[in-house]
Structure 1
């Protein structure tokens, strides 16, 4: 395993903290979560700070102007204010001032006290997981549904001038009315950024187990496709620009932290199940809390998986992530490689309707954006078809 503490002049620009606490896990969620417990929260912070110490030389060597921090989960909004502040300060002691600090929150945690304090300690971007404005849909998936969500969102909007709202399309009970209500909520709140995900049936979640056991029904695929097309039209009329498969924003309000992911940039991930990419090292931390703690107790990186990517593996990751963006990826850094030329030729042939090269950029066509999953599967299958040709 490569010791990345010795890496020099990294261009890492993102730091992610996975805050896994949840009071209750929603039925659609497949993220790593832990039931909220005050003792565990205190202990977990100690380990996050310990993990950051292992990256001290990396943080000192960051030489990019644009540094971002992201608190994801789980429910990071459950983290005591002083702990959020301590983690931000720890980063700021080693790097330049971040251009963006995002914290995810549930609607019911948008209290006056939280909003004021988050702003005070340096949170610059709030991401609120609404998921649906329909209380029946939320009840169907075991999610809290406060009756004053809109009021709370409006308060948050006054305090934060950079705000995202998350929605999920395709949950049990989805209808034209529920989507129209979501659009109406967007009009009322006017967030800078919207993430609208399609519920993924491929993950082993409580919701999918209920569906497979005929306990609940999911909306028809054709209905979801029509609703998605409707959303595209409505969001465009509201001046939101779709810049990534599931992301819309006003001009200049794209999520800088996530853009770094999609451009296959460098970032450090801290906490259980977090992933990172530093230079050509790709890693994922242990999901198991005890294994995570044991590694850190012995002053080792808490990796469950790590790989020093080859040139070709970096390229595959770059197109896999970058094709999520409307602008696609710039391929001039790779095109001189004969193996990559051969790969791209075959990939384009297999996806002639869905992929195109415009100038120096490889990108999804409009039709490709609608069937992106099959294109991503093709990226992998095309590589596997040509394994005898490529270096690995």
Structure 2
């Protein structure tokens, strides 16, 4: 084997990637064999055979425990995770260790048990702690976890909301409360946002509070540029839009809005001030809605500009089905021609009561057709190219 390794090394400059991979595999195999023959600890073997990791996962994780002379500390960690405090299955333990193998370096008495006590002190049940570990197992190694839980649970409103947020952003519990989170809250307050507003926005995206302050300042500056007054209820949406879109993406979306609807820059700015959510819509959605409204429904850009809320309605569940009902009723002479927009804001129950029920004897199938159209199941309610 050593002879073959030397041959491979001698031609390394011209050798193929496959042969280089073979060389690395042979070297790894030889090292493992030498370690086994000397009775030394093999990190990769332990991770695969005892912890249940795949060979690929073990290769990545081995560097964190390769300095061990024996697995005694890891054995204690595994026993603790599988014991009565957690009752983690082998699959769960494998998931935790693949996500954060450094847990195996923790002391059960000095680190893991105190963290467990912190979880329980903040009201987390065993089942909730297991969920937390699956999505943010690094919390076991977070020194300030007690402080983090003490802040986030009341701020978000409940333990369940905390767990929901952790599944989306495992990093949030590692963010420093005093140096990162609280200064960001203070900055948001300067922009007129209340603690209630901040909490609601944080539920939608915890990055609002966990990002560094320079990033947050840039987000708030972009929100200001949208022209929405800070005291307006829509300023929260302006901040959320600025957080969701980078500056270049924002600029391209605004340009696309103007090109799609034939609006000037000032007209686009007016629409965005009214509802700063519009830039978050995908270009495909805007394209399809504009084509339907202007080509099928026959609305011009000035009409849409004066009623931009029309762009917020779902094409499939609101615009197409109600346009279908309006055209049928007009063609049958059951209603006089009306503005399409007047049919849109009404909630579904009232729409049926006002426009469908009065004509059920003349058009008995209209209610079923409208229901099918709302589900996208009525061919006549589909418009080619939209």
Structure with greater proportional strand content: 1
Structure with greater proportional helix content: 2
Q: Is the TM-score greater than 0.5?
A: no
Larger RCO: 1 or 2 (CA < 8 Å, sep 6+): 1
TM-score class, shorter: under 0.3
User: Normalization by structure 2: what TM-score?
Assistant: 0.23
* Greater radius of gyration (CA): 2
